[in-house]
Each structure stands twice: as structure tokens, then as C-alpha cells.
Amino acid sequence: MHIETELVHSGRGIDPSTGALVAPIHLSTTFERGEDGSYPQGYVYGRSGNPNRQDLETALAGLEAGCEAAVFGSGSAATFTLLQALRAGDHVVAPQNVYFGVQEMLAKILAPWGLQYTLVDTTDVAAVETAIRSNTRLILIETPSNPQLAITDIQTVAHLAHQANAYLACDNTIPSPVLQRPLDHGADFVIHATTKYLAGHSDVIGGAVITKDPNPLFAQLQLIQGIGGAVPSPFDCWLTLRGLQTLAVRVKAQSQSALAIAQWLQTHPAIDRVLYPGLTDHPGYEIAQRQMIGAYGGLLSILVGGGQTAALAMTTKTQLFTRATSFGGPHSTLEHRASIEAPGTGTPDNLLRLSIGLEHPQDLIADLEQALGHR
């Protein structure tokens, strides 16, 4: 079945009590027990399960070709719970330019608790291999990465992880399952900030972890979630499932526009460099061609000539691009990432991240042209 069809039908069905094509929102926090003390409908309490949450988890597991999914109240909660499912003394390998929120949770919460970690350039296979220790239990990658759009070879790093008896988790937020299927390339887990492209409308926060096969780490993640309660609301699940229906058309349109804008920005004298894996001069272009499906996503970054001052000045001049964090919605946004990240970030101070929305690409190019000026 093609993914466009899967997106419309996965996790959805006709409501048996009303015949409604759109599922109701089940706001109940508690569910009736049977006379024998059992739970005949399978639900006990909102923290442990909910029909809307189950629908979303079923859809995401199918879309990523996994066997099971767990959805969370945010993408950060999803990643944090996966890391927390490891044991004190275990070792994690993660990208040196991993999303700064993950760096914060590793350095400020999990390392004091006893988790060991090493940050490396995961695009360098030799560096990943060198970083692996006897106690390495998880390798975490983002590809493309946020915000520098680096490409990691999923299949090769998965092989290294499995040789070391470790798991590979791939953050697939930027490409979405429309453009990349990490489990098909050997990853054991896929992570999503469903806030971004999956929900797609900048109106709901969520996250997910999808597992390829049943395994002890995913079972521990589910235990932690059930006890700790890092769950999304029924309405959040309902909104995300609604957003999935248009994911393919949104992502393909945004990707097409992003490529056109990236190619145009390459020619502009005010731009030092464009970071986008769909450009033939991108260091990861050949790998992206192998593991991405037909396009390269709606996110790109630019290095503005003149440093931080020029980059920040540009953000004040756009009219269609809104200065805002996050990405993946229908409105185009841009953000100076270094100023929002932690001190000591590896993000260049002249980098602006552009999330391409659903506006016409020529209108967005015109907006960037007037904001950049002629130099």
C-alpha cells in the first residue's frame, strides 16, 4: 500500500456506535471494570492507555514499519524516556551537534544519575566506531540533523551498533516516514517530535518512539512511561492523527519548495553557505540519495555573511517568514539558533534555520530577497 493511502487510513475506522468517519475524543480518565474485576475494553486509567492514544500508536507503528509505538507529551519526553530506560553505568554515543535539548538532558540530568555518553561526529563512521565501548548500549543519531542538516549513514552505523550488542535509535523528525524509513535501514528505534511534520499545524506538542521488534529496552520505556505518566492528552493524540492524513502532500510540497529556495540562496552574494542535503555539493548528498525517498525535506539552514549581526538583522526584515522556534507547520519560519541554544553551542553564530511552509516558493524567495538586500 502506498504511504498516501496508509496515512489516510492508518489508526482510523468507522465508529461502531455512531457510524462516524471521524473518531470521537475520549476524554475519560477512568474506565469501568467488569463484574469479575477485569477490564473488558482493555483500558484502566488515562495514564496507562486511552483509545485515541492507541489509534495514534497503531498508525505510527505501521507508518514506520515497526511492531509497536509509544507516544509522549513531547519529543523531548520521548527521547528522555528512551535514555532513561538504560541503566546507570551504560554508555551512549550521540552526535556532537545533536539537538541542544538532548545535550542538556545528557549533561545536566542523565550523566549525574550515572549514564555515560560520548558526543562524536556521527557522519564520520570511524569516529563512531572509536567511540563505542564495551558498555555502549545505545547509539543515537539524527539524520538530517537539526539545525546543521548533517547526514549520517543509518545502515553503516546500525551495523556498528549491532556488532557491539547495542541498539541504534534514529530521530526521523525532519524527513518523516514519507521521506525516510530508518527501520528499513537497520535502526532499532525511530524517534519523532510529532509536534513538527506529523501533526503539521503548529498547534499540538507530542513525541513518539517506535520499535522495530519487541525488546527489553522498549519494555522498560513503556514501564517508565506508565509509572511516570509522560503521556499526551486524548485531544493531542486526536489532533496528531488528523494531521497525519495530509502529511504526504504537505511534506512533498514543502520539500519541493525548500529545494528551489536552497538553490536560489546558493547564488545570493549575502549567503556564505546553504546547508541542505538536496544540494549536490552537500557532503552527505550521496548517502541522502540512498536512504531518503525522492526528496530531502522542508528544513534548511543558511550561514549569513557578516556574522551574527547580519544574521539577526535579516530576521527583522522578512514579511512572510516569521521569527519563531520549531518547524514543520504550514507557515514559514526562521530562527537564529545559536541565541536560543545553551552557552558553548556548536551552532555557528551566523546560522539561520528556515522552515519552509506551504506558501508559494516564489513569494518566499521574494521575501528573502528583500530581506537580504543586494550586496
Which pLDDT belongs to residue 345? 85
Task: Say whether the peptide bond before residue 177 is cis (omega within 30 degrees of 0).
Answer: no
Q: Which residues of the chain have pLDDT under 70?
A: 374-375
- Give the active site residue among 12, 137, 181, 196: 196
- Give the active site residue among 55, 90, 153, 171: 171
For the chain, give the mean pLDDT. Answer: 96
Fill in the DSSP letter of residue 370: H
- Give the active site residue among 12, 43, 99, 197: 99
Sequence-distant (6+) residues with CB within 8 A of 276 are 149, 258, 259, 262, 282, 296, 300, 301
Residue 184 and residue 251: Cα distance in Å, rounded?
20
Is residue 196 among the annotated active site residues?
A: yes
Supply 78's cell numbers: 520521548
Helix (H, G, I), strand (E, B) or coil at 333: strand
Angle at which helices 216-228 and 75-84 cross, to 10°: 120
Is residue 367 among the annotated active site residues?
A: no
Q: What angle do CA 303, 360, 271 make, to 5 degrees?
A: 15
- Give the active site residue among 47, 133, 242, 273: 47
Residue 25 and residue 40: Cα distance in Å, rounded?
20
Q: What is the pLDDT of residues 3-21, one digit of tens each?
A: 999 999 988 888 888 999 9
Is residue 99 among the annotated active site residues?
A: yes
Which pLDDT belongs to residue 375? 52
Percent of the chain past pLDDT 70, that is, above it, reads 99
CB neighbourhood size of 29 (10 A):
10
Q: What is the pLDDT of residues 160-192, one digit of tens each?
A: 999 999 999 999 999 999 999 999 999 999 999
Q: Where are the alpha helices (DSSP H) in 106-246?
A: 111-113, 125-131, 154-163, 176-179, 216-228, 234-244
Which pLDDT belongs to residue 309? 96
Give CB contacts under 8 A, 24+ apart, made by 158-165. Answer: 158/185, 158/186, 158/187, 158/188, 159/186, 160/125, 160/128, 160/129, 160/132, 161/132, 161/136, 161/188, 162/186, 164/132, 164/136
- What domains can you pick out in the chain, each with its CATH number? 3-244 (3.40.640.10), 248-372 (3.90.1150.10)
The residue among 290, 282, 239, 241 whose CA lies nearest residue 258 is 282
